[in-house]
Structure 1
C-alpha cells in the first residue's frame, strides 16, 4: 500500500506572538520557543521538504520589504536547522508585502501580515 503525502501549512504571525523586533530579522525569545515546538514535528523520518516563506506588512518600500521577508525566512530556516531539521530539506522564499492576509490599515491587520509560513511536505 502506497502512503499518500500529507501536506501541512504552519503559519506563525505577529498577531499575539511577536516573532521579530520592528525592522529586524532577528527572532525574539517568543519566536524561538514557538519554533522549538514546531521543530519537534519536523524532525521525523517522514519529512520530505519544508518551504519557509516570509511576509511583511506594507510599511516601507516594496524592495525593502522584499529583502526583509527573505532575511526573516532565512532566520527561521537557520533556527530550524540548529534544532535538527535537515538543511537539505529546507528552502526559503520571501514575498515581501505582496500577499497580505489582512488589511494593512490597522495595527492588528499589519501584525497578521508580518508572518512566516512553513509549507511542510511529508
Structure 2
C-alpha cells in the first residue's frame, strides 16, 4: 500500500511538472476561429535553435509572432500552432527582446497564393529572429528611414542707408546705383540660397538727429522702398513686412562726445540702415 501511494505521488508530481512547463506550448494565441471566411490554415512552428546562453529548460528569448501588428503568440523552441486566416495579404512579424535590445523582422505575404502555408520561426547567431517558408528564409522588410528634420533658419542683413539713398532720400528715385545693386543682391540671395522663404522682415532705422515723428516716417519710407524693389525683382510681396523703428534702436552709443556736425553724421552712420531678416529653409 505504501509503495502504491509513492507511485501515485510520483505520477502526480510528474503530471504537475508537465503542466507547469510553460515552454511546451505557445502562449497568447490569436486568430484561432474556424469560420467559413477563414479558409486558410497557416501552420507556424519554431525550430530547435536556442538563443545564446539559453537551455531547453531555461529559455529567455521567446519569439513573439505578430499578424498585422496583433500579437498572435509566444513561441519557445519546438512550439507549433495553427492559425485560421482569410485569403488576403497579411504582415507577419517576429520579434525577440532581451534586456539589452529588441530585434525584429517582418514580411508582407499573400496568404492563399503561397506554395506552402507552413512557416518556421528561428533566430540567427546574434539572436535576430526570422521567418522561413518552404525552407527559405524570407527577406525582412527594410525599415523606413525617418524623415530628416527640416528647420527654418533666419538670415539677418543690415543695408546702410547712406549707401542706399541720397541724403534724406527714401523713394525709388532716391536710390543710389550702389544701393539699388545691394537690394538686388538680397533678392539674389533669397533665390539662390533658400528652398522656401516664409517671411521677410524689413525695418527702417535712423540716427538720433531730427524729431521722433520725422525719423519714424523716414525709416518707414525707406523700408517700403526696399520692399517695393524686392517685389519688382521676383520676391513674393505677401511674405514681406515693412516697419520703422525710427531712432529708437541705435547700434552706436549716440556719439555724444562728437561736436562737429560732419564728424557726428559720420559717427552715427551705422544707425542709419534698413535691417533685413529672411526666415526660411536654406538649400
> Scaled by the length of structure 2, what TM-score is found?
0.41
Structure 2 unmatched runs, 5+: 1-147, 256-263
Deviations 1:63-111 (A, max 9, x none): 1000100000000000111111110110101000001001333333321
- Aligned residue number for residue 107 of structure 1: 265
For residue 18 of structure 1, give the secondary structure of its aligned residue in structure 2: helix
1:1-122, aligned counterparts within 5 Å? Answer: 1-14=148-161, 18-25=163-170, 26-43=174-191, 44-105=194-255, 106-122=264-280
Deviations 1:31-70 (A, max 9, x none): 1011111111123541111001100011210110001000
Structure 1 unmatched runs, 5+: none
- Decide whether the 8 Å contact of 1:58 with 1:97 is kept in 2: yes
Cα distance, 1:9 vs. partner?
0.5
For residue 169 of structure 2, give the secondary structure of its aligned residue in structure 1: coil
User: What RMSD over aligned residues (CA atoms) do the two structures have, in Å?
Assistant: 1.4
Once residues 103 and 2 of structure 1 are traced to their aligned partners in structure 2, the CA distance between those partners, rounded to angstroms, is: 41
For residue 227 of structure 2, give the secondary structure of its aligned residue in structure 1: helix
Q: Between Structure 1 and Structure 2, how many residues are aligned? A: 120
Taking CA–CA contacts closer than 8 Å with sequence separation of 6 or more, which of the two structures ends up with the larger relative contact order?
1
- Between stretches 42-51 and 53-62, larger displacement belongs to 42-51
- Decide whether the 8 Å contact of 1:103 with 1:109 is kept in 2: no
- Decide whether the 8 Å contact of 1:52 with 1:117 is kept in 2: yes
Runs of 4 or more off by more than 6 Å in structure 1? none
Once residues 275 and 181 of structure 2 are traced to their aligned partners in structure 1, the CA distance between those partners, rounded to angstroms, is: 16
If each structure's strand is expressed as a fraction of its own residues, which one has the higher value?
Answer: 2
